[in-house]
Amino acid sequence: MQKMMRKRFVVFFSSFLIAAAEERRRPTTSKAQSTNLEDALKVFDEMVQRRPLPSVVRFTQILTQVSKLKHYSAVISLNKQMRLLGIASDAYTLSIIINCYCHLKQMGFSLSVLGQFFKLGLEPDVTTFNTLINGFIIENRVAEAAGIFSKMVERGHCEPKWLLSAR
């Protein structure tokens, strides 16, 4: 009995290794690593055609790559397509969208996305708050940046160990 079990395991394991090796050799366009916008959009379009649809994590990987390529408007457009397909955003996705709006100097939209965090019952993290602070500073809206920082301290997201004072 034990010999037969060992033989089955060897057959299964051999089949698994062969399948894994074939998978590695097969060219895939579904990986989220893209070096240009055209490739990323192609992968996104392929993902949209799949049934069932890939998870929000896979779509967010595409958004991350497009954002790294500095195509912020494209990221926002892709996110709108995701919403139309019924793909719910998670906290990481919303943070990427906030970052894109900040880079586009559209802080009003960034704040509306922040509102989506709370509407969905999600909690923004330090990165999200820092992105908003940077966006306000880029627009020379220091008072609003200070307000966001105060909210971070109130919520316990950071504990300032020292303060700078302007003289």
Decide if 34 contacts 47 (C-beta within 8 A). no
- Residues 96 and 45: their CA atoms lie apart, in Å, by 20
Cα–Cα–Cα angle for 74, 43, 21, nearest 5°? 150
Tens-digit pLDDT string for the chain (167 aa)? 555 555 554 445 555 555 555 545 544 444 455 578 999 999 999 999 999 999 999 999 999 999 999 999 999 999 999 999 999 999 999 999 999 999 999 999 999 999 999 999 998 888 998 999 999 999 999 999 999 888 888 877 666 555 555 55
Model-wide pTM > 0.85? no
Residue length, the chain?
A: 167
Instruction: Copy the structure tokens of residue 18.
Output: 């062969």
- Residues 67 and 77: their CA atoms lie apart, in Å, by 12
Q: How far is CA 151 from CA 9, 17, 109, 135, 137, in A?
A: 57, 52, 19, 16, 16
Domain residue extents for the chain: 25-88, 105-167
pLDDT at 30: 45
Instruction: Copy the structure tokens of residue 143.
Output: 């008072």
- Which residues lie closer than 8 Å to 160 by C-beta, 6 or more apart? 153
Instruction: Copy the structure tokens of residue 40.
Output: 């990323």
- Residues 160 and 126: their CA atoms lie apart, in Å, by 13
Nearest alpha carbon to residue 151 among 114, 107, 121: 114
Integer-rounded Cα radius of gyration of the chain: 22
